[in-house]
Structure 1
Amino acid sequence: MDATTPGPLAPEVLDRDDLKRALAEHDFAAAFSLIKKWGGLSQNRIASACQLTPGKVSTIINGQQQVTSFDVICRIADGLRIPGQMVGLAERPWERQSEAPDPQPQQPPAARLSDVTPWRPNATVHLAVDLTRSDLVMDRRAATRALTGVALSGAALLDSLEGWLQPAPASDNGHRRGRIGIREVQELEGTARAFRAWDHRFGGGLRRKAVVGQLNEVASHLEEHQAPEVERALFRVMAFLGGTAATIAWDSGLQQQAQSYYLLALRAAHAGGDPAFGANVLAGMARQMLYRDRPQNALELVHLAQKGAGRQASARLRAMLHTREAWAYAAMGRPSAFRRATAEAAEALTDAGSEEEPYWITYFNEAELAGVTGGRLLDMARQHPQEHAEAAADSIRQAVRRRGPEAGRSHALDTIGLAECHFLIGDVAGAVDHTRHAVEAAARTQSVRVRAQLSQLYPYTVGRSASPRVAEARTMIRDLLSS
């Protein structure tokens, strides 16, 4: 349904006191019955508008299932055009929409960097220019509409990456010397580090355009045919900025755009002769696949990263790749393989410190290992709480203690996971305390991922209305997610 399409409910239906009361109390069994009676909508029409199955609508109306998911509440409000305040949400985007949609929506930028594009330095520069220029000229509304498409997966993705394993060809640029030297490249690298540090702490897309603009500037320098050592250094800066742009885009919910920047970062690392950072990029792509419930794709990406990095992988990089491997095994329901890969990660991490590490992997330490391990144990605990919930809580608690609130997005994800662990264990009082801390931590980030994770706590707080503290926690979650 388009954002400017009039809602299916007439104003006089939304003005009914009985419907207002049902919506305010999240009594959707009564609300749907009233909408059927006074709004003239069939059960199938309600289901279609709210992106629900008719069977689910039937179970809600019959009182067999409560609506506890924050996402479903949003879909009901948006599908039936119920103002946000009537269901305890902030003003919905369509309520603020006054302009007509563009007659010809802009197309997403070069989002499909497939194997038809040769793995040559010049081709990588052209892709960077096209991608960043398209991204920079898009307004926010057009970008959101155009760039939220589904990222590539399966053979279509993996086949496009085979060129990464081949040696990078010599640059086909001329021998003209560009206007910048190594010192200027180092300044660009310093800016790229600052952007990455900001993203690690706060998440979200508030500075996405700034990162993309810097990436465009690096691409323009590469168009000028720099000296060989400057060119390689610029490609490495491009790779790093591309990885940061991918993370920020993904954290803003732009999955297809994130994959485009990941692929660009991988090609830039290849052109710059940096297989270690290329492996790091592949690990980011694997994480994206894991969040999209494609663990087999993720595992193949990790194995590709391990094969390509080879001996150039530092101890921390090897440990991080093993945790991605463990994550995939956990998602595939293979606890023994998960424990083996986690043990290999811990063993690799014990070697860290005896060698010089790239600055972009120094974040991976014992706290990060504990947080990632706890998160994966929590994934398994949702299916088997008695087997894994206590271990998940112990591991996440170590991460919270070691990295603290200054970790920003990671700290927020840790506290949310710890709250869920306590709900699974049955410690409601402890869960409520951790939920309060989780909401406070989440409010300090702009991360879509953090808010998506927080929404998973909402169902645990429904059906416990007898407890004022649980009701208060539920209100805190709802207020933040609807803001």
Structure 2
Amino acid sequence: MTGHEPSTALPRRLLERPDVRAALAAHDFGTVFHVARTEAGISYSMIAAECGIKPERVGTLAKGHGRVTTFEKVVRIADALRIPGRLVGLSRRPWETTPEEDAMPERREFLKASAAASLAVGLPDLARPSSRGRVGRDLPEKLRQRTARLRRLDDVLGGGDTYRTYLGEYQSTRSLLRSRSYTEETGRGLLSVLAEQAQQAGWAAFDGGRHAEARGLYEASQKAAADAGDDALAGNALAFLAYQGLRGDRQDRQDAVQTAARSCATAGPDAVPRVRALLYERLAWAHAVAGQGDETERALGAARDALAEADGTPQPDWAAWVDETELQIMSGRCWTELNRPLRAVPVLEAALARYDDAHARDKALYLSWLADSYLTAGEIEQAASVTGRALDLSRGVASERPRERLAPVLRRLVEHQALPAVATVLEQARS
């Protein structure tokens, strides 16, 4: 960390404490404020001034009453207390100048802290659900909030790290549904959460190379969402199944296109904008992999139209990450797949310039499509440079997908290994 340090900057020794890390991962800033005052001598009034929070509110939070829930406030607190972004589920902050050259230990520590914190915020112990008692009607929302919090792990960790945590959440909720009593309305809420958790676990399984487990979880998610009457989640489960099906042969890809179209129809025209944008994005990708250019363009247009309707109304957390940058990246991926580098390169370059390296897995994946398009355009040295960046980012990430995506790019580069830039990146890949 360099530059001006605010008077509220937490000492490194406190940031390294397991209890503080667990509190940060859970966004339990009241505990953090209390520790800051009692062990670092930072007064509540100083915290209030730097964080833009009323002094009495800081004191209330420090007593364990209430929580910080808005993204903007989390960012303000992180910057004021100089809390590294990875500890609170944010990308690397502008004042963090040390690159994450070997981020694996920190990622794993973040996983442990977050998983522990998720069970320490007053929620039931779902690992051992009681066979007695009636579930309160507020439990589905509490579980949904915890699921959203744990989803942030996917920003910095691969499926090899998160799968067991996500699977455990799904299994705990499933056990609770089987062993406890609840009203019909609460049961529908729990089934909806179960569907969301199954998708989260399925995605981690897919990312970690556990494809059979992923399919089983997606199918279980679709059933739970349908039983809950949650059309948006049911549509998203179909979209996940379509995405996975694109890995197969030509017939599998054609089937995946139909499944992706069914996902949009299942969610329906009344789904909130970001959900529709997400499903149309995945439909566009299915068309692109199937080599259907006109259909790809129409689906991308539908995704853009849906995203343009977003007006700040609440969106489900599982679709909230869909924004203009993500749509640009998907567009570039589609044009790469359709061998149209003149369309792919500009949008990928522009979008990835805004994409934080802290999201190492995703950025490595997206760079692989950029490298692919540069190769198709005959820009070999540029392709080698981009591939090198992707290799650097993917190092230490517990995900199969960057390596899978980069393998064909590297095979194409072998044809040009006489070029020094290519020889360098091929040696980097071997090491």
TM > 0.5: yes
- Note if 1:445 corresponds to 2:397: yes
Larger mean Cα displacement after TM superposition, 401-410 or 216-225? 401-410
- Structure 2 residue aligned with 1:259, among 205, 215, 223? 215
- Structure 1 residue aligned with 2:295, among 337, 340, 358? 337
- Partner SS for 2:198: helix
Identity between Structure 1 and Structure 2 (%): 28
Contact 1:399 1:414 in 2 (8 A): no
Structure 2 residue aligned with 1:320: 278
Aligned-pair distance for 1:183? 4.0
Structure 2 residue aligned with 1:236: 192
- Structure 1 residue aligned with 2:140, among 185, 197, 201? 185
Aligned-pair distance for 1:428? 2.1
Counterpart of 1:363, as a letter, is W
- For 1:302 and 1:467, how far apart are their aligned partners in 2? 42
- Partner SS for 1:202: coil
Aligned-pair distance for 1:324? 2.2
Deviations 1:417-452 (A, max 9, x none): 112222222222222221121111111521111110
Structure 2 residue aligned with 1:290: 246
- Partner SS for 2:392: helix
Contact 2:264 2:280 in 1 (8 A): no
1:8-23 residue pairs with structure 2 within 5 A?
A: none
Counterpart of 2:297, as a letter, is R
Contact 1:177 1:226 in 2 (8 A): no
Aligned-pair distance for 1:354? 5.1
CA gap of 1:185–1:355, structure 2 versus 1, over 3 A, is closer
Counterpart of 2:220, as a letter, is L
Structure 2 residue aligned with 1:219: 174
Structure 1 residue aligned with 2:341: 389
CA gap of 1:281–1:472, structure 2 versus 1, over 3 A, is same
CA gap of 1:435–1:297, structure 2 versus 1, over 3 A, is same
CA gap of 1:348–1:187, structure 2 versus 1, over 3 A, is closer
CA gap of 1:312–1:300, structure 2 versus 1, over 3 A, is same
CA gap of 1:210–1:471, structure 2 versus 1, over 3 A, is same
CA gap of 1:184–1:317, structure 2 versus 1, over 3 A, is closer
- Partner SS for 2:159: coil
Structure 2 residue aligned with 1:401: 353
CA gap of 1:303–1:334, structure 2 versus 1, over 3 A, is closer
Aligned-pair distance for 1:286? 0.9
Structure 2 residue aligned with 1:29: none
TM-score by length of 2: 0.65
Aligned-pair distance for 1:297? 1.2
Aligned-pair distance for 1:416? 1.5
- For 2:132 and 2:189, how far apart are their aligned partners in 1? 14
Task: Give ranges in structure 1 of 5+ residues lacking alignment.
Answer: 1-132, 134-175, 382-387
- Note if 1:476 corresponds to 2:428: yes
Structure 2 residue aligned with 1:357: 315
Task: Give ranges in structure 2 of 5+ residues lacking alignment.
Answer: 1-126
- For 1:370 and 1:444, how far apart are their aligned partners in 2? 27
- Partner SS for 1:207: helix
- Structure 2 residue aligned with 1:245, among 193, 201, 213? 201
Which protein has the larger Cα radius of gyration, Structure 1 or Structure 2? Answer: 1
Counterpart of 1:304, as a letter, is R
Structure 1 residue aligned with 2:158: 203
- Note if 1:307 corresponds to 2:232: no
CA gap of 1:312–1:344, structure 2 versus 1, over 3 A, is closer
Counterpart of 2:292, as a letter, is R
Counterpart of 1:370, as a letter, is Q
Cα RMSD for the two superposed structures: 2.2
Counterpart of 2:361, as a letter, is R
- For 2:383 and 2:279, how far apart are their aligned partners in 1? 32
Larger mean Cα displacement after TM superposition, 440-449 or 323-332? 323-332
Aligned-pair distance for 1:177? 8.1
CA gap of 1:231–1:177, structure 2 versus 1, over 3 A, is farther
Deviations 1:277-327 (A, max 9, x none): 111111111111123242321222122222222244111222222222222
- Partner SS for 1:406: coil
Larger mean Cα displacement after TM superposition, 334-343 or 257-266? 334-343
- Structure 2 residue aligned with 1:371, among 329, 333, 336? 329
Contact 1:195 1:244 in 2 (8 A): no
Larger mean Cα displacement after TM superposition, 399-408 or 426-435? 399-408
- For 1:295 and 1:352, how far apart are their aligned partners in 2? 31
Structure 2 residue aligned with 1:460: 412
- Partner SS for 2:153: helix
Contact 1:455 1:477 in 2 (8 A): no
- For 1:353 and 1:200, how far apart are their aligned partners in 2? 25
- For 2:411 and 2:292, how far apart are their aligned partners in 1? 27
Counterpart of 2:176, as a letter, is H
Structure with more contact order per residue of length (Cα contacts < 8 Å, sep ≥ 6): 1
1:95-134 residue pairs with structure 2 within 5 A?
A: none
CA gap of 1:389–1:233, structure 2 versus 1, over 3 A, is same
Aligned-pair distance for 1:220? 1.7
Aligned-pair distance for 1:231? 1.6
